[in-house]
Amino acid sequence: MQTRTLFGAALLSLLIYPHRSTANDLFPVQPVVRQAAGSPVPVAELRIGQGQAFSYALPPGWRVGEDGQFALTLVAPDNKALTIMVGNAGMPPNTPPGQFIYEKLMAIRPENLQLSAPRPAAPAAGFAQAFEFDVSYSVGGVPCRGIAKWHVAPAYDTATMAMTAAVSEASQWPAYSSWLPQVAEQVSATNGAAFGARGVMAQNLQNSTAYAEAARQYRDWSQKNWQGVTDARNLSEDRKNFAVRENLGGVQTYSNPYGNGPALELPTTYKYYWIDQQNNVQGTNDPSVNPNNGSTGEWRQMERMQP
């Protein structure tokens, strides 16, 4: 982030003209326009990792939790979000999707686990059909939300089933919902024994269009999320610099009542300031003075602006 300048040549060039105006107790004042600084926004990238049986897309700062033949989990840096991929070959083909999802999610020991009605969804690579469910539960009394998806690849008399799930604390889910479920589906079997079956779910994750979309969604979220952090930091710095600039520079900041110009920094010499449409400013300490009296132009009183 670029360093924000506390003082500039504009501040030091603030001038107060000593002559009086035609209106009683009004003095012309030269305002100074305060300049703002910008901040670059870094954008993080998903990277591809390799586990015991699966490759996966890993967001920056996240870590692998379980890494086995049947399951893979990814955990957020604050431990308040995770993705789950778990599957089994040799399942009875008539196993209800909701039952499979419920049993797999119970492995994380949720409280009051609730699933929505299933809705058709696009299956992950290597699967023929999928349904997704909205998920809600609590852990230690903390509400959590997410999406779980059931995928199936039928065989002659059995089926390979898998669940991909993306969940987080409920307060964080609105930020995760646009991209984390896609990351959960970017799991690719690289070992023939994955799920206890061979040749299941083979794909090239590096070149898959699904991975490209997940990466794009993550970049969008990352940029917006970092921009929010940057904006908050800049706002805090602005407030500090605002107060220091006013105190050390002997100025006060006023908004333009015409709405056609930036905020103006004016000296503390006067309590009241007036401005016309040509941005001519006059100051006075007399609240009863009005430069519109006897003037052919329009003058409006300026209001103090707070950061």
Structural domains of the chain ordered from first start: 9-34+233-304 (no CATH), 47-207 (3.40.1000.10)
Burial (CB count <10 Å: 0-12, 13-18, 19+), residue 161: buried
The model carries a pTM of: 0.55
Token reading at 155: 């065989």
Q: Which of helix, strand or coil describes residue 265?
A: strand
**Is a pLDDT exceeding 80 seen at residue 206?**
no
**Is a pLDDT exceeding 60 seen at residue 191?**
yes
Reported confidence tier of residue 297, pLDDT bands at 50, 70, 90: confident
Percent of the chain with pLDDT over 90: 21
Which residues lie below 8 Å from residue 182, measured CB to CB, with a gap of 6+? Answer: 210, 213, 214, 217
If you compute the radius of gyration of the chain from its CA atoms, what whole number of angstroms results? 31
Side chain identity at 153, as an amino acid letter?
A
**Is a pLDDT exceeding 80 seen at residue 307?**
no
Q: Taking all residues of the chain, what is their mean pLDDT, rounded to a whole number?
A: 75
CB count, 10 Å around CB of 154? Answer: 14
Q: How far apart are CA 307 and CA 242, in angstroms?
A: 7
Q: Give the model's pLDDT for residue 188.
A: 78
User: How far is it between the farthest Cα atoms of the chain?
Assistant: 99
**For 225-272, how does the pLDDT look when each residue is reduced to its tens digit (9 = 90+)?**
655 555 555 555 555 655 555 555 567 778 888 876 777 777 778 888
For the segment 107-135, the average pLDDT, to the nearest whole number, is 91
Q: How far apart are CA 258 and CA 297, in angstroms?
A: 14
**Is a pLDDT exceeding 50 seen at residue 41?**
no
Token reading at 59: 């967001």
Greater model confidence, 213 or 163: 163
**Is a pLDDT exceeding 60 seen at residue 23?**
no
